[in-house]
Structure 1
């Protein structure tokens, strides 16, 4: 990943010890400071003392459920909340988002997916913590709106910058044209989805990615960046 975020605090709240251990180990390995809690009350106490940047909350917990913890955290703390929800609980996701959750991950999830979501939240909510971020051959400087590839500055238009930045931010995840349009061009963009293809082609030209080894096309699904 190459995002050195030492001093970055994550609170993991889940009543299943094996999930907690798995996340604690993985996140500490990435350089995060991690605190864990097995129920809502201890989560609130930990949040007060630990002041996490991101809280990962399981919806299903005995006593105070993840929704209630989310609601209380959002009232008192400046924290990004990612909910862990069961596969088929669509209402849970809607409910979580209306209570102020910032994102959700569906169980069972891969650690990479959760990590990508965590980085996306950090970027959105704590952008001032970033100088330059290195992802494989890319160096992203979001303050200057500059991206280098293999040490060479890319000449990008603002839209190209936004697109490549979004792809890199979510690297490893498959992004549909619809999602890309929404996040890069905005909800109200009335144009054609093919504009995404045009811009992807232009980015591939600029980084010399004829083989599509960095920006991959996933047939029928969208695009994925391997950084």
Structure 2
């Protein structure tokens, strides 16, 4: 049974989400603010977090950053803030999906199931982008006929993006995940490495592409999915 965290200061929202998710067999843990949510996560193995933005003590954006720093789980922002700038901030902090209130409970359920499928695929050492196979354990990339040699940073960057196809990563998040929190260079380093990867895989555009989301970051899109 998977454990879901619902962090929202509105008890009616928590009750609605709990009803829909428990009906599907999920175990739901509730928190009325970000600080309580942190405590829940420290005591319980949470598999996915559904969090509101506007909460007391620790807001949803701060909670999202905390989760990204300490856990590798899907995050869904469930909030009434529907401006593009609000969504940008949420994705920059590391959310995987963004659902605005009022919302259809069934749609939220569909999105959660999709995120679980994405993260389950990502747990393997072998990542496939149609003809391209990324072997994280042996640090190899192949097209089924030959091994493609990549510098380590480019390999790690490609693997990180390909591990979660469709998920948007900010430059800051990629720096932390690939280069490390103590990296002191410019985050435009990511842009340089993305450019090199696109050049290397120019002949494989029918298999996958690295998409730019202007002002935020990058994501891998797999053809046919």
**Short-chain TM bin:** 0.5 to 0.7
Q: Which residue of 2 aligns with 1:215?
A: 210
The structure-2 alpha-carbon separation of the partners of 1:112 and 1:155, relative to structure 1 and needing over 3 Å to count, comes to farther
Give the CA deviation at 1:156: 0.7
Determine helix, strand or coil for the equivalent of 2:50: strand
Cα distance in 2 for residues equivalent to 1:218 and 1:113? 21
Q: Unaligned 5+ residue runs, structure 1?
A: 1-8, 25-34, 39-56, 74-78, 124-129
Q: Which SS does the other structure have where 1:224 is aligned?
A: strand
- Residue 178 of structure 2 corresponds to 184
Counterpart for residue 112 of structure 2: 111
- Of the structure 1 ranges 81-90 and 169-178, higher mean CA displacement relative to structure 2 is found in 81-90
Q: Give me the whole-angstrom Cα distance separating, in 1, the residues matched to 2:30 and 2:146.
A: 43
Q: 1:71 aligns with which of 42, 63, 72?
A: 42
Report if the CA contact (8 A) 1:58-1:83 is conserved.
no
| Contact residue 175 and residue 223 of structure 1 kept, 8 A | yes
The one-character-per-residue Cα deviations of 1:30-80 (angstroms, maximum 9, x if unpaired) are: xxxxx5235xxxxxxxxxxxxxxxxxx45359xxx765543332xxxxx45
Paired residues in the alignment total 173
Residue by residue over 1:135-179, the C-alpha shift from the partner in whole angstroms, topping out at 9 and shown as x without a partner, is 444322211112234664321111111110111123212222222
Alignment check: 8 A CA contact 1:58 1:84 kept = no
What's the TM-score, normalizing by structure 2? Answer: 0.59
SS state at 1:225 partner: strand
Unaligned runs of 5+ in 2: 7-14, 79-98, 100-107
| Paired residues of 2:168 and 2:219 also in contact (CA < 8 A) | yes
